[in-house]
């Protein structure tokens, strides 16, 4: 345990969905925050967050909402981050820190860093939360750049630690490649798998109707929000294409082994995969 508990007198959360709301709740339960202002466009969402005690005050005017905040957490969809930051940055007070939870970092950094007024500090971040209840035990990646203020970085790091996360620092490009590999690529694979099986037209019936629980479980992520994934795919194009090509090479090697009926190579391929997979259990 560290001896210098972080305390944020006023936290503004823009977007009080699962990501934003969970940070607010984690900091509240750690008594690491004074007041939490929830900011958003939809009044229903805001009122629900207020009713649940996730935020203490709500504000539809984002500029008013961030005006006296010490820390602003941007938790809106990745493609809206730039436009939201453009609106709120001029209203933030000197010394305040802005951080985000966007799942792609290079484009976000490129867009947001130039928008910061003097004395307002941006720290690019990405909490990798599998489930959004809380960040306890999950990794949060922060991607400081040459422009990142060290004190602001330290503050945001301590905030995430206080929320229970293990904070990892890495450069923007590395973050985007890693996320392309472990998150964006699997979604592309799942969407493609469902489409390739669903479009198989040799038989009159839809062969997906024969699928049992295994296929349903495996393709669960193909039910994810198409708008969100369109935005992520467009925002992280370069790294994603790199990972898709790595996957294609691997898959082509396997197809060759299947076609040639090479039992030794097939066993080696499956065993190598199983060992990697079992290691991350």
Residues 129-168 contacting a second copy, CB under 8 A:
129-131, 138-139, 141, 168
Cβ(153)–Cβ(144) below 8 Å: yes
By CB under 8 A, the residues from 73 to 132 that bind a second copy are 128-131
- Position of tokens 């629980």? 213
Cβ(175)–Cβ(141) below 8 Å: yes
* Closest distance of CB 156 from a second copy, Å: 19
By CB under 8 A, the residues from 207 to 266 that bind a second copy are 207-224, 226-227, 229-230, 233-234, 237, 240-241, 243-252, 254-255, 257-259, 261, 263, 266
Q: Which residues contact 253 (CB under 8 A, 6 or more apart)?
A: 269
Only one of the segments 14-22, 57-65, 68-76, 204-212 lies at the binding site for a second copy (rule: CB under 8 A); that segment is 204-212
Phi, psi of 99, rounded to the nearest 5 degrees: -135, 170
Phi, psi of 183, rounded to the nearest 5 degrees: -130, -50
CA distance 261 to 91: 65
Q: Which helix (H) or strand (E) holds 267?
A: helix 263-279
Only one of the segments 27-35, 69-77, 146-154, 205-213 lies at the binding site for a second copy (rule: CB under 8 A); that segment is 205-213
Q: Quick one: tokens of 3?
A: 């001896």
Phi, psi of 135, rounded to the nearest 5 degrees: -95, 5
* Closest distance of CB 95 from a second copy, Å: 32
| Virtual torsion, Cα 83, 151, 119, 65, nearest 10 deg | 50
Asked if 29 interacts with a second copy (CB under 8 A), we say no
Cβ-based nearer residue to a second copy, 145 or 183? 183
* Closest distance of CB 165 from a second copy, Å: 11
Cβ-based nearer residue to a second copy, 51 or 209? 209
* Closest distance of CB 76 from a second copy, Å: 18
Asked if 4 interacts with a second copy (CB under 8 A), we say no
Asked if 281 interacts with a second copy (CB under 8 A), we say yes
* Closest distance of CB 163 from a second copy, Å: 15
* Closest distance of CB 108 from a second copy, Å: 16
* Closest distance of CB 78 from a second copy, Å: 13
By CB under 8 A, the residues from 167 to 196 that bind a second copy are 168, 174, 177-178, 181-183, 185-186, 188-196
One residue of 1, 118, 202, 204 binding a second copy per CB under 8 A: 202
- Position of tokens 């992280």? 236
DSSP 202: S
Cβ-based nearer residue to a second copy, 111 or 116? 111
Q: Where are the beta strands (DSSP E) in the chain?
A: 8-14, 33-39, 57-59, 71-74, 97-100, 121-123, 125-128, 139-142, 166-169
């Amino acid at each position: 345990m560290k001896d210098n508990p972080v305390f944020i007198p006023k936290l503004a959360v823009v977007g009080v969905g699962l990501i934003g709301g969970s940070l607010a709740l984690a900091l509240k339960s750690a008594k690491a925050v004074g007041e939490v202002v929830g900011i958003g466009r939809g009044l229903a969402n805001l009122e629900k967050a207020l009713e649940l005690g996730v935020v203490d005050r709500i504000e539809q005017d984002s500029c008013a909402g961030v005006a006296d905040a010490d820390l602003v957490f941007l938790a809106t969809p990745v493609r809206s981050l730039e436009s939201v930051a453009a609106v709120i940055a001029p209203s933030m007070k000197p010394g305040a820190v802005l951080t985000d939870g966007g799942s792609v970092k290079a484009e976000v950094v490129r867009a947001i860093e130039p928008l910061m007024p003097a004395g307002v500090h941006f720290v690019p971040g990405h909490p990798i939360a599998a489930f959004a209840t809380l960040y306890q035990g999950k990794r949060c990646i922060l991607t400081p750049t040459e422009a990142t203020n060290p004190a602001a970085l330290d503050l945001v790091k301590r905030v995430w630690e206080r929320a229970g996360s293990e904070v990892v620092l890495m450069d923007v490009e590395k973050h985007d490649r890693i996320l392309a590999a472990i998150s964006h690529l699997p979604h592309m694979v799942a969407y493609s798998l469902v489409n390739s099986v669903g479009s198989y037209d040799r038989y009159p019936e839809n062969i997906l109707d024969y699928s049992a629980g295994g296929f349903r479980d495996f393709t669960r992520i193909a039910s994810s929000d198409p708008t969100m994934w369109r935005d992520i795919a467009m925002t992280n194009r370069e790294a994603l294409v790199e990972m898709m090509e790595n996957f294609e090479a691997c898959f082509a090697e396997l197809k060759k082994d299947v076609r040639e009926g090479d039992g030794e190579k097939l066993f080696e391929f499956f065993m190598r995969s199983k060992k990697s997979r079992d290691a991350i259990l």
